[in-house]
Amino acid sequence: MPAYLIANVNVQDPATFEEYRKQVPATIAKHGGRYLVRGGRVERLEGAWNPTRLVVLEFPSMEQARRWYDSDDYGAPKALRMKCAVTDAIFVEGA
């Protein structure tokens, strides 16, 4: 069953975030994931949620998504992101 990471990323330091953006795609691909959404325009339909930078990743399974997130491959880029952005993120299983 596919799994998705859905994240809202509020970038505080654009220069450092650009370094993160360069490093992370290879780690996602190595773990079987791919981008479905990477930034772009957001149009709110209902509620009060107002994401600033929305990212959606797809992985073949929840286990692979978790392995990527906890991997040594993603460790350094994740630390870089945590220094330059405030992120809300969840994993969710798909149908």
Grouping H, G, I as helix, E, B as strand and the rest as coil, residue 93 is strand
Residues 43, 47, 51: CA angle, nearest 5 degrees: 50
Write down the domain spans for the chain: 3-42+49-93
pLDDT on residue 53: 95
Q: How far apart are CA 92 and CA 30, in angstroms?
A: 20
pLDDT on residue 95: 82
DSSP 2: -
Low-confidence ranges of the chain (pLDDT < 50): none
pLDDT on residue 78: 98
pLDDT on residue 51: 93
pLDDT on residue 94: 92
Written out in words, the top-level CATH class of the domain with range 3-42+49-93 is alpha beta
Distances (CA, A) of 46 to 39, 43, 50, 55: 19, 9, 10, 19
